[in-house]
Structure 1
């Protein structure tokens, strides 16, 4: 951990602390996912701060582990290129962008489908729409992590990556491209409870920020 850049290291620590807190808090009658998770903006439980706090909450150990593994694997390199301050800005912008994209997708779902009903039949019970909207909650660092993955692919497009279970290395740019296609297809077709468009939102905002930095520092001392 001492060899790890400071922002990456502290993000790992903070995410683990939030996860452990989410396990302990119910013993004191507090559901941190309800408080810190990102609710749909038309729901009564929505608060603006959730656009930040949601990215430090996770839905389980596997969710936390894979996000933190990717953060460590790609974030370490990206922070050394960007520097701590700019890497933190990049991470937060990607996370915020992912949250905003998720809100947009949920708004489209509400306007096109949910607004036509007063309640929702979940198969086991009928829930009033006001209650159902509060159940539309998003958690996880995935949007920010996907932004980091995008950043790595842009900065090191030809870097070979060994990805299980592929028996051969794949260039970072193709790895990122495949992920974009998979997330887009899953977002359009799957109903698996995963915020695929939030992942794409994190990548989109990361790409736009890199383009902005490249133009801003084109004639200066910074590459990005």
Structure 2
């Protein structure tokens, strides 16, 4: 069905094999943690690319790899394609980690501030601004805190909750080959912009360049206006596409450089 090239085949097999042996402990150890987390390890910048959170996750990524990857590998050769794939994956991880650090540092500072001056009003504001996805499950506690705002035990419990929310957000690992695969899609769109593609949800062909524009715009919008219940690492996707764009343009300006 697919004309798999050597590197694409190896990446596909490794991802599938790792998927079948993955468990929560492996994800915790080798998924990419925030720079603010005690669980962060530099090797996670690489290992997270071979871990996936479920069947739909790995299926969508591997479909993108086997559809768009072979033409790039045939065009560049195995060595350059391999470099490109990991360059995009590492680039996506760095951009995601940078944005995550910025976002989590804001939560970190808010928790530090709340520890100094706890209270019902400030706790409610903290949840609204930094942890709205927790609001429903915390509603009974918030209502009780509202009725007894001067209760010291309630204040101490609220600090413990704020600390727990910070820990949960900082220690949540990011996994998946999406950044590298979105880089592959970007590379395909740049090198073969007028290739017509048929998508499952569209009955008409669409040129690769328009598909890349759509994906990029959607991920940028989703990353900026991401809901707290959205667990997709949109900035990892954007990072993969951005680093792919940079590398393809650089290689295009260095046509006498070979790998």
Relative to the length of structure 2, the TM-score reads: 0.77
Match of 1:15 in 2: 15
- Quick check: 104-113 or 149-158, which moved more? 104-113
Match of 1:56 in 2: 50
What's the secondary structure of 2:245's corresponding residue? helix
Query: Is 2:80 aligned against 1:86?
Result: yes
Match of 1:46 in 2: 40
Counterparts of 1:142 and 1:110, CA distance in 2: 22
> How far off is 1:133 after superposition?
4.6
Task: From the two aligned structures, give the one with the greater strand fraction.
Answer: 1
Match of 1:146 in 2: 182
> How far off is 1:34 after superposition?
0.3
Match of 1:128 in 2: 163
CA deviations on 1:175-221 (whole Å, 9 max, x unpaired) are 1001111111111112211011110000000111111111122xx37
Q: Kindly indicate whether the alpha-carbon contact (under 8 Å) linking 2:45 and 2:90 is maintained by their aligned counterparts in 1.
A: yes
Question: Any stretches of 5+ residues in structure 1 without a counterpart?
Answer: none
- Following TM superposition, where does structure 1 have runs of at least 4 consecutive aligned residues deviating by more than 6 angstroms? none
The higher relative CO (CA closer than 8 Å, separation ≥ 6) is in 2
> How far off is 1:160 after superposition?
0.6
Q: Kindly indicate whether the alpha-carbon contact (under 8 Å) linking 2:3 and 2:70 is maintained by their aligned counterparts in 1.
A: no
Q: Kindly indicate whether the alpha-carbon contact (under 8 Å) linking 1:38 and 1:138 is maintained by their aligned counterparts in 2.
A: yes
Counterparts of 1:134 and 1:19, CA distance in 2: 24
Counterparts of 2:73 and 2:163, CA distance in 1: 46
Higher-Rg member (1/2): 2
Match of 2:150 in 1: none
Q: Kindly indicate whether the alpha-carbon contact (under 8 Å) linking 2:39 and 2:171 is maintained by their aligned counterparts in 1.
A: no
Question: Any stretches of 5+ residues in structure 2 without a counterpart?
Answer: 116-126, 139-160
- Which residue of 46, 55, 74 maps to 2:68? 74
Match of 1:210 in 2: 248
Number of residues of Structure 1 aligned to a counterpart in Structure 2: 215
Counterparts of 1:190 and 1:42, CA distance in 2: 21
- Quick check: 157-166 or 143-152, which moved more? 157-166
- Quick check: 140-149 or 165-174, which moved more? 165-174
> How far off is 1:132 after superposition?
2.5
RMSD over aligned CA atoms reads: 2.2
> How far off is 1:113 after superposition?
3.6
Match of 1:170 in 2: 206
Task: From the two aligned structures, give the one with the greater helix fraction.
Answer: 2
